[in-house]
Amino acid sequence: GQQLNQSPQSMFIQEGEDVSMNCTSSSIFNTWLWYKQDPGEGPVLLIALYKAGELTSNGRLTAQFGITRKDSFLNISASIPSDVGIYFCAGRRAGGTSYGKLTFGQGTILTVHP
Amino acid sequence: GAVVSQHPSRVICKSGTSVKIECRSLDFQATTMFWYRQFPKQSLMLMATSNEGSKATYEQGVEKDKFLINHASLTLSTLTVTSAHPEDSSFYICSAPDSNTEAFFGQGTRLTVV
């Protein structure tokens, strides 16, 4: 199935550094979601974006819905060791038979060194 | 937030046997649930859309006779891996959108076929 282009694939950073990752698509999405997945667990929703241009924060996390509706980015400020995990972007198109159906990025593996 | 519970979290079965995985929405009703498969360090790949009261919709390349889906009620969907083989070993995850259209994920099921 179609996937979003998520980059970078992996990041190795020092504790305290800021992190940025993004997703792009050739298709338009009406919703962008960012998830974090810990090993052996299901993804947990971090931020949801519903409007083009929307900028939303959740603690140290900030995400934006691109104006063109074909991209989104996630920033993590002042990283801490528990930020370690895999981050996924996901996009969703409008209603119809595809209601709720998500398209996922390939994931960004984040490693934070103390 | 909404909670989706998946059971079991881990299962080991012999080749040729069948395994049933349950996905429950605990505090909301879900007419639609989604089943994903995830290989190590890879993204989530949608297998099928489970629809309450009707047949599941399978993604291209997914064998409907091998991965049986039943959406018995508004809070329960089951995935049965029939005649499992070692290549079916994977991490299976369900998700369900709540009334706000957000997709919440279960904890995942690690299936190992020996």
User: Bigger pLDDT: B108 or B31?
Assistant: B108
Instruction: For chain A, list residues whose CB is within 8 angstroms of any CB belonging to chain B.
Output: 1, 3, 31, 33, 35, 40-45, 48, 86, 88, 90, 92, 97, 99-102, 104-107, 109
Amino acid letter at A84? V
- Residue whose structure tokens are 């998946």: B6
The phi-psi region of residue A107 (left if phi > 0; otherwise alpha if psi is between -120 and 50; otherwise beta) is left
Flag if B103 and A41 touch (Cβ within 8 Å).
no
Over 90: is that where the pLDDT of A57 sits?
Answer: yes
Distance CA B27, CA A92 (A): 23
Over 70: is that where the pLDDT of A1 sits?
Answer: no
DSSP state letter for B40: T
Could you report the per-residue pLDDT of A10-32, keeping only the tens digit for each?
999 999 999 999 999 998 999 99
Map residue B103 onto helix, strand or coil: strand
Q: What is the mean pLDDT of residues A62-81?
A: 96
Mutate to test the interface with B, among A10, A25, A29, A41 (most CBs of B within 10 A): A41
What is the predicted pLDDT for the residue at B2? 64
Count of alpha carbons within 13 angstroms of residue A91, beta-carbon side: 27
Over 60: is that where the pLDDT of A98 sits?
Answer: no
What is the b/e burial string over B7-43, where b = at least 16 CB atoms within 10 angstroms of the residue's CB? eeeebebeeeeebebbbbbeebebebbbbbbbeeeeb
Flag if B103 and A97 touch (Cβ within 8 Å).
no
Flag if A90 and B103 touch (Cβ within 8 Å).
yes
* Contact assessment for residue B22 and residue B11, using Cβ atoms and an 8 Å cutoff: no
Share of chain B above pLDDT 90, in %: 76
What is the predicted pLDDT for the residue at A94? 66
What is the predicted pLDDT for the residue at A102? 86
What is the predicted pLDDT for the residue at B103? 77
Dihedral angle, C-alpha B10, B96, A60, A16, nearest 10 °: 30
DSSP state letter for A83: G
Flag if B107 and A41 touch (Cβ within 8 Å).
yes
What is the predicted pLDDT for the residue at B3? 87
Q: Which residues of A touch B110 (CB under 8 A)?
A: 40
Residue B20's pLDDT band (cuts 50, 70, 90): very high
Q: Which residues of A touch B2 (CB under 8 A)?
A: none
Q: What is the mean pLDDT of residues B16-45?
A: 93
Q: Which residues of A touch B34 (CB under 8 A)?
A: 100-102
What is the predicted pLDDT for the residue at A60? 97
Residue B93's pLDDT band (cuts 50, 70, 90): very high
Could you report the per-residue pLDDT of A28-53, keeping only the tens digit for each?
999 999 999 998 999 999 999 999 99
Question: What Cα–Cα distance (Å) separates residue B83 from each residue in A48, B3, B9, B53, B114?
Answer: 39, 30, 20, 25, 12
Question: How many residues can be counted in chain A?
Answer: 114
Of B6, B103, B108, the CB nearest to A100: B103
Q: What is the mean pLDDT of residues B23-45?
A: 91
| Cα A95 versus chain centre, distance | 21
* Contact assessment for residue B75 and residue B48, using Cβ atoms and an 8 Å cutoff: no
Residue B39's pLDDT band (cuts 50, 70, 90): very high
Residue B101's pLDDT band (cuts 50, 70, 90): low
Over 70: is that where the pLDDT of A96 sits?
Answer: no
Closest residue of A to B34, CA-based? A101
Count of alpha carbons within 13 angstroms of residue B93, beta-carbon side: 23
Flag if A100 and B6 touch (Cβ within 8 Å).
no
What is the predicted pLDDT for the residue at B8? 97
Flag if B108 and A41 touch (Cβ within 8 Å).
yes
Flag if B101 and A100 touch (Cβ within 8 Å).
yes
